[in-house]
């Protein structure tokens, strides 16, 4: 017993104390900054090089909901597209994920998440989520699992994953929604009582990602159901996920 207590003392507190102000390393690819003046050459080449069709030209924009943060556009554009380490990329609307040259990270953060007072009131102190992997590669799923580990400890905010949709306040969707997972996803959603929320995590869930347009997907769920929170990435960092959820439920 004494040895156990000594060990606990030695380990100390492993949880990151302030998740809200934690900063990721410089090499982390987060919010992209676009400088139209630096573009040289054919923009269509850049558009064609993007594996997920996330880039549009005239004006150049990057769709964070499609981007897999591969960095190819940064390498090809000669600095006209540059990824910063800004990791708070969650948004409560799909259109807010379109980044143009006029949008700074601070500007994006100011308007990206508009949570309703009702959401704050209902889920601000406790949010139970059921995760549904609808054909994901397990990357997003691993980062979601990491949200609950001793470092990130999302449970300290009253946010937990539960085994049954009957016990949940909402669904966290990962993956592009394969045809065989589409009915199970809808079943899980319908099993959750109202009021409920839907969170789409990762490029696959938001747009199909690298599987966008595949015949093996069935994204009808996304047409029928309103997504309340989008968390871009491939996969998103745990701090991206946790900060997005905290902003959404109104936690300081």
Binding status of residue 62 toward ligand SF4 by CB under 6 A: yes
Contacting residue, 16, 33, 47, 70, with ligand SF4 by CB under 6 A: 70
Select 123 or 152, whichever has its Cβ closest to ligand SF4: 152
- Contact code string over 177-216 relative to ligand SF4, x by CB under 6 A: -------------------------xxx----xx------
Taking the CA atoms of 90, 64, 83 and 111 in sequence, report the sign of the dihedral they define.
negative
Binding status of residue 77 toward ligand SF4 by CB under 6 A: no
Select 54 or 227, whichever has its Cβ closest to ligand SF4: 54
Task: Give the SS3 label for residue 82.
Answer: strand
Residues 79 and 40: their CA atoms lie apart, in Å, by 10
Taking the CA atoms of 80, 23, 143 and 117 in sequence, report the sign of the dihedral they define.
negative
Task: Give the SS3 label for residue 56.
Answer: strand
In the range 128-167, which residues lie near ligand SF4 by CB under 6 A?
A: 136-137, 139-140
Cα–Cα nearest to 244, from 116, 92, 111? 92
Residues 59 and 98: their CA atoms lie apart, in Å, by 11
Contacting residue, 234, 241, 245, 246, with ligand SF4 by CB under 6 A: 234
Cα–Cα nearest to 98, from 224, 225, 200, 230? 230
Binding status of residue 30 toward ligand SF4 by CB under 6 A: no
Residue 3 phi, psi dihedral angles, 5° rounding: -65, -35
Binding status of residue 231 toward ligand SF4 by CB under 6 A: no
Contacting residue, 43, 52, 127, 168, with ligand SF4 by CB under 6 A: 52
236 contacts 88 by C-beta, under 8 angstroms = no
Contacting residue, 19, 55, 154, 177, with ligand SF4 by CB under 6 A: 55
Contact set with ligand SF4 (CB under 6 A): 50-52, 54-55, 62, 67-73, 136-137, 139-140, 174-175, 202-204, 209-210, 234-235
């Amino acid at each position: 017993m004494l040895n156990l207590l000594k060990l606990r003392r030695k380990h100390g507190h492993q949880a990151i104390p302030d998740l809200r102000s934690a900063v990721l390393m410089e090499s982390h690819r987060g919010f992209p900054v676009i400088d139209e003046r630096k573009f040289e050459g054919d923009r269509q080449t850049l558009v064609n090089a993007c594996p997920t069709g996330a880039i549009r030209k005239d004006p150049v924009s990057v769709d964070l909901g499609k981007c897999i943060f591969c960095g190819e556009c940064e390498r090809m554009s000669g600095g006209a597209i540059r990824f910063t380490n800004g990791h708070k990329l969650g948004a409560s609307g799909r259109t807010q994920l379109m980044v143009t040259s006029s949008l700074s990270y601070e500007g994006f953060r100011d308007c990206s998440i508009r949570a309703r007072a009702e959401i704050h009131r209902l889920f601000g102190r406790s949010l139970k989520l059921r995760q549904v992997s609808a054909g994901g590669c397990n990357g997003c799923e691993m980062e979601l699992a990491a949200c609950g580990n001793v470092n990130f400890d999302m449970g300290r905010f009253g946010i937990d994953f539960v085994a049954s949709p009957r016990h949940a306040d909402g669904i966290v969707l990962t993956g592009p929604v394969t045809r065989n997972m589409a009915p199970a996803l809808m079943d899980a959603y319908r099993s959750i009582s109202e009021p409920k929320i839907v969170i789409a995590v990762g490029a696959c869930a938001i747009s199909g990602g690298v599987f966008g347009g595949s015949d093996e997907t069935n994204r009808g769920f996304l047409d029928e159901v309103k997504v309340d929170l989008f968390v871009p990435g491939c996969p998103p960092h745990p701090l991206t996920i946790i900060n997005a959820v905290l902003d959404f439920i109104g936690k300081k």
